[in-house]
């Protein structure tokens, strides 16, 4: 939460005061009662001003705030919004449940509105904890009392709406399968739409019988080994006056992935295989709360991929919603089967621009690691626009190729139109080429492989273990 003040003297609080300090900055303006003492500590080198350094100083009741935290901002001439975000990621509940921030001291040559937006986004992100199943909860409540003479209310509110949506996305991905099945995800989506309380948002949930009537047999094939029914989740947000040219956000919703009969040797963390579905729900939430002028569909084919006597087998052939047939080479290449039917459904509903998001291939992790998302597409202008949005949000994204050779491999089955796996070589591109095979000629399409970026078991930047909420902000930015 946050409160905004234009005058420091108006803030009624004894809680810690935060100010930013650049290297070689000798003068400081906290309060005339302690300015000189703090300046002496700066001259003596006791206060560290390296990027992200946190200096804790008692005020001995000389001012109303009992503690002052001085945050190092590094070299002023090298200060960018990225440097600012690195500095303020240490502003979280560990410093106190209520913090008073003199925002102008963090500004440097940056715009105060940009600083305010990124303060909320960054501090909120690094303040996240997942304690749903801990008997002793983590008290990470945080109130920021922000002081600046400029009007930042709009930027703060927009950032908070996105940040909360990212938190909700992370919660969904972190939740274990025994607490979040396909039916549970559909219930969450319905509750989310209800909570948004907007007549511009409509939701339809399709049960197994209704999915069968749609002939989504690739999707249903993945569900064959499950004791839990699948759900097709379809949300429409009309942000424009007229419903036309909707962008479809298709999220992979494999609630748990065992690999099926092509069983995984290790399946820990496979609860994260629905991160694409969680992401598109997070994007939808942020779009609606911020009243973004865009028409958007969210489409999720939700099921788990498990094994029983009815489960899908290698050598089986499935017929997708559009009538194309698929030879099953690996039952562990299941996400693309659900996505094939999902993009067909999106096009049937009138979308000519599709973005699909999926924890799709280990090959993408091998290629790009855990902090860069793989991007594919059939329209270079759209790819370029998306890369620009990713650059602005600083969510590392890299374009990967789909060549004619790869397309030929996807169509190399002797008994069906497509094979669902091309093996380990070119695995990320092969999966993308498979989905592309279900995209109609005039439909613009982007595919995001977040297999490495959606969930971190060994976080490198002090973020919380587990789900990252990656791409919610970038997709929001792209659509806005």
- Contacting residues for 202 by C-beta, under 8 A, at least 6 apart: 193, 235, 236
SS3 state at 145: strand
First-to-final CA distance of the chain:
24
Among candidate residues 35, 18, 303, the one with its CA nearest the CA of residue 180? 303
How far, in Å, CA of 249 to CA of 446, rounded?
10
The secondary structure element, H or E, covering residue 347 is: helix 335-348
Catalytically annotated residues: 264, 336
Helices 182-196 and 153-174, packing angle to 10 deg: 160
Torsion over CA: 252, 258, 432, 478 (sign): positive
Within 8 A by CB and 6+ apart from 383, the residues are 375, 377, 399, 446
How far apart are alpha carbons 388 and 297 in whole angstroms?
22
- Distance of CA 453 to CAs 113, 185, 282, Å? 28, 21, 16
Residue 321 near residue 273, CB atoms below 8 Å: no
Smallest Cα–Cα separation from 234: which of 208, 262, 205?
205
Give dist(CA 3, CA 54) in Å, integer.
23
- How many other C-beta atoms can be found within 10 angstroms of the C-beta atom of residue 138? 12
């Amino acid at each position: 939460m946050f409160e905004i003040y234009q005058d420091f003297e108006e803030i009624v609080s004894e809680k810690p005061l935060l100010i930013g300090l650049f290297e070689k900055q000798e003068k400081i303006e906290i309060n005339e009662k302690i300015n000189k003492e703090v300046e002496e500590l700066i001259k003596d080198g006791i206060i560290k001003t390296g990027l992200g350094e946190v200096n804790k100083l008692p005020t001995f009741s000389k001012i109303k705030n009992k503690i002052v935290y001085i945050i190092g901002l590094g070299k002023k001439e090298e200060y960018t919004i990225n440097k600012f975000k690195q500095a303020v990621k240490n502003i979280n509940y560990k410093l106190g449940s209520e913090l008073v921030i003199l925002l102008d001291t963090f500004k440097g040559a940056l715009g105060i509105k940009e600083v305010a937006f990124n303060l909320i986004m960054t501090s909120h992100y690094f303040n996240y904890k997942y304690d749903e199943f801990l008997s002793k909860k983590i008290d990470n409540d945080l109130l920021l009392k922000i002081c600046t003479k400029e009007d930042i209310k709009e930027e703060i509110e927009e950032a908070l709406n996105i940040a909360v949506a990212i938190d909700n996305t992370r919660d969904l991905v972190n939740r274990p399968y025994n607490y979040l099945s396909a039916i549970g995800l559909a219930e969450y989506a319905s509750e989310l739409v209800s909570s948004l309380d907007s007549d511009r948002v409509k939701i339809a949930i399709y049960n197994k019988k209704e999915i069968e009537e749609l002939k989504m047999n690739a999707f249903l094939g993945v569900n064959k080994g499950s004791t839990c029914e699948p759900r097709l989740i379809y949300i429409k947000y009309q942000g424009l006056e007229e419903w036309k040219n909707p962008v479809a956000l298709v999220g992979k919703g494999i609630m748990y992935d065992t690999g099926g009969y092509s069983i995984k040797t290790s399946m820990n963390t496979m609860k994260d295989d629905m991160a694409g579905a969680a992401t598109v729900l997070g994007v939808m939430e942020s779009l609606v709360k911020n009243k973004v002028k865009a028409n958007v569909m969210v489409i999720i084919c939700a099921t788990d991929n498990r094994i029983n006597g009815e489960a899908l087998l290698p050598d089986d052939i499935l017929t997708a919603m559009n009538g194309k047939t698929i030879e099953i080479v690996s039952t562990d290449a299941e996400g693309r089967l659900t996505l094939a039917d999902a993009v067909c459904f999106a096009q049937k509903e009138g979308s000519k621009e599709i973005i699909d998001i999926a924890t799709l291939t280990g090959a993408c992790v091998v290629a790009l690691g855990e902090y860069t998302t793989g991007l594919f597409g059939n329209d270079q202008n759209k790819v370029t626009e998306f890369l620009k949005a990713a650059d602005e949000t600083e969510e590392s994204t890299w374009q990967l190729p789909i060549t004619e050779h790869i397309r030929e491999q996807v169509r190399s089955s002797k008994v069906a139109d497509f094979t669902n796996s091309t093996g380990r070589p070119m695995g990320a591109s092969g999966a993308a080429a498979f989905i592309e095979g279900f995209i109609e000629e005039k439909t613009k399409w982007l595919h995001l492989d977040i297999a490495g970026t959606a969930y971190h078991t060994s976080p490198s930047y002090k973020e919380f273990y587990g789900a990252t909420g990656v791409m919610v902000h970038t997709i929001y930015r792209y659509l806005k």
